[in-house]
Amino acid sequence: MSKLNGKIAVVTGGGSGIGLATAKRLAAEGATVLVTGRRQAELDRAVAEIGGAAVAVQGDLTKAADLARLHAAIAARGEGLDILVYSSGVADVAPLAEITAAHFDKIFDINVRAMVLTVQTLVPLMREGSAIVLVGSIAGVIGTPGYGVYNASKAAVRSWARTWTTELSGRGIRVNTLSPGPIDTAMMAAATEEVRAGLAAQIPLGRMGRPEEVAAAALFLASDESSYIAGAELCIDGGMTQV
């Protein structure tokens, strides 16, 4: 029996990478999945790949009007919302001396501000016992040179999961953080072989992860199989930060 039959899910950043892999897995387990992102063409391709009852809702979650449109698209279905996976994110390099206000705002607007406003907007639609999965990163607990702003933004994701776990506990809504390590997405494919080999050498399992492996963990946190897990962080990093 599929684990998510009858469930309604939203996956942000669902047009590519971890978001797309997660949307595919949730749909394969029976959920109706609404994927959102900024690029319509990418979303259209994603919906075609996901199949089933997938729906694309184009929008920039840093904009109030687009958030309202996403809310309306879910509300119009009249079925409420069971799963929210916030997978949108961006990373840019800037060591301390080169951090600008624009660099800071770009990363925190997408990784933190938009996440907070998305959860705030959609929580009223979520049914009793729903699940929120925030895609963080092991960057939130390490100090990679040049990624200070990004690292801080992912630490903030982890912090919000703790706060929302207490604030939403009365409705039985579970909030957890999924923190991937180096994952072999299209973004990572652009890295040089030297960089890729260097990353793999830091991982006890000796390789980078696959988007599908992160998606499997997202499914676990979104499903009733994790019904007694709340406020937690699940690291999908091949042991990189665990040993």
150 part of the active site? yes
Beta-sheet strand order (sheet of 174-180): 55-58, 32-37, 8-12, 81-86, 126-135, 174-180, 233-236
Q: Which of 86, 147, 150, 228 is catalytic?
A: 150
Owner of token pair 């963080």 = 136
What does the alpha-carbon distance between residue 82 and residue 4 come to, in Å, rounded to a whole number? 9
Beta bridge pairs of residue 113: none
Q: What residues are annotated to the active site?
A: 150
